[in-house]
């Protein structure tokens, strides 16, 4: 069984849901600083969030100078995955409007499809394949080598959470190098997450 992420523009209440684009969320009574890129020190771009059993996992990626800040790498600081406990949440905004938000917002639904692999799940899914935006849980379907990151808190291999297509519309898509795939991992013990992409 593969759990596909399917584009669904019907949902409107997105604060506590898996969604992409729009504004990120933060815990209501906690200060939170918009993440900055380790290489260029500018604010990163918010990509989207995945709801899991340990909270909402937010993905940020530097888009100030695409290709120059190692934003594909899980450990170089050109991207950041942050977990927000899904209690009381509010949307929050970046200081800079430049390259920090995507010009789109979309919701999704998770659809279980009988299949052994991600590719087979897409084949077996009855809808429009352009609406398939990735999968959650299970195993990653790598484009290149297995790059499962180790956790910084316990040094174990991290848990696979999601793999993501760039988006439903190429004009507003996430930039994974052109038809690349993003991979999100977490550590449920340390409540940390990492992100990387391949193409």
151 binds Zn ion (CB under 5 A): yes
Which whole-number Å values give the CA distances from 184 to 31, 107, 194, in the listed order? 24, 18, 6
- Of 1 and 154, the one with the shorter C-beta distance to Zn ion is 154
Per CB under 5 A, 190 contacts Zn ion: yes
User: Per rule CB under 5 A, is residue 121 in the interface with Zn ion?
Assistant: no
Nearer to Zn ion, 51 or 159 (CB): 159
- Contact status: 37 vs Zn ion (CB under 5 A): yes
How far CA 61 is from CA of 101, 131, 172, 174, 175, in Å, comes to: 10, 23, 14, 9, 9
Rounded Cα–Cα distance for residues 181 and 198 (Å): 6
Interaction of residue 69 with Zn ion, rule CB under 5 A: yes
CB of 66 to Zn ion, least distance (A): 9
- Which residue of 8, 16, 39, 99 would you call a contact of Zn ion, by CB under 5 A? 39
Contacting range for Zn ion; rule: CB under 5 A; set: 11-19, 69-77, 79-87, 120-128? 69-77
Vertex 175, ends 140 and 19: CA angle to 5°?
Answer: 65
Among 50, 62, 136, 174, binds Zn ion (CB under 5 A): 62
Q: Tell me how far apart the alpha carbons of residues 37 and 27 are, in angstroms, rounded to a whole number.
A: 22
Interior CA angle at 166 toward 146 and 71, to 5°? Answer: 60
* List of residues contacting Zn ion (CB under 5 A): 37, 39-40, 62, 64, 69, 151, 153-154, 187, 190
């Amino acid at each position: 069984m593969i759990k596909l992420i399917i584009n669904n523009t019907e949902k409107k209440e997105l604060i506590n849901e898996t969604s992409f684009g729009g504004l990120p969320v933060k815990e209501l009574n906690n200060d939170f600083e918009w993440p900055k890129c380790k290489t260029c020190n500018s604010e990163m771009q918010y990509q989207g969030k995945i709801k899991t059993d340990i909270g909402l996992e937010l993905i940020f990626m530097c888009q100030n100078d695409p290709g120059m800040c190692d934003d594909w790498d899980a450990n170089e600081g050109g991207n950041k995955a942050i977990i927000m406990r899904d209690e009381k949440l509010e949307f929050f905004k970046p200081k800079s409007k430049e390259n920090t938000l995507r010009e789109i917002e979309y919701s999704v639904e998770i659809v279980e499809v009988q299949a052994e692999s991600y590719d087979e799940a897409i084949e077996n899914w009855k809808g429009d394949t352009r609406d398939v935006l990735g999968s959650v849980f299970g195993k990653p379907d790598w484009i290149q080598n297995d790059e499962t990151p180790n956790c910084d808190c316990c040094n174990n291999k991290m848990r696979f959470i999601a793999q993501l297509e760039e988006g439903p519309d190429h004009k507003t898509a996430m930039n994974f190098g052109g038809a690349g795939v993003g991979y999100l991992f977490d550590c449920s013990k340390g409540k940390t997450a990492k992100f990387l992409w391949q193409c």
